[in-house]
Amino acid sequence: MIQEFRDFAMRGNVVDLAVGFILGGAFSTIVKSAVNDVIMPPVGLMLGGVDFAEMRIILEEANEAEGIAEVAISYGLFINSLISFVIVAWVLFILIRAMNNAKKKQEETAAEPAAPPKQEVLLEEIRDLLAKS
């Protein structure tokens, strides 16, 4: 049973999936920083100094005396997450498109038949000339 598990865990697809998962997590932090620190400040500035992270609908005010926390719908954070998703989806689309184009070129190169040897071409030309005579 341990041997089977080791064979399963060391199979190429599982290792590739693990590497992809780890890189995806790292990529997620980069995209989150890009959205929150690079994209959203200029967008907020263009919209009149709006900070999307602070945009929310307050359903119930906080009351420290009674120990009640604020209850709010943070739709600004949702907008940030939506923009992050669009960026990740776009980057993945570009990567997959590039991989598909590279694979297509490789298949086209492999599909092209090799040119016949020069002797064969010459023999075919002689055959065609004799057939015309």
What confidence tens digit (pLDDT) does each residue in 32-85 have? 888 888 888 888 888 787 777 888 999 988 888 888 888 999 998 898 888 888
- Whether the predicted pLDDT of 11 surpasses 80: no
Rounded to the nearest 10°, the torsion over CA 89, 92, 98, 103 is -120
Per the prediction, the chain carries an average pLDDT of 84
Residue 12 predicted with pLDDT over 70: no
- pLDDT for 114 equals 76
pLDDT at 24 over 80: yes
**Residue 96: what pLDDT?**
86
- What SS3 state is found at 56? coil
Residue showing tokens 């602070």: 54
- CB neighbours of residue 54 within 10 Å: 10
**Identity of residue 113:** P
Q: Between residues 49 and 100, which one has the greater pLDDT? A: 100
Domains of the chain as residue ranges with CATH: 2-132 (1.10.1200.120)
Whole-angstrom distance, CA of residue 115 vs CA of residue 87: 46
Q: At what angle do helices 12-33 and 75-111 cross, to 10 degrees?
A: 130
What is the C-alpha to C-alpha distance for residues 79 and 40, in angstroms, rounded to an integer?
10
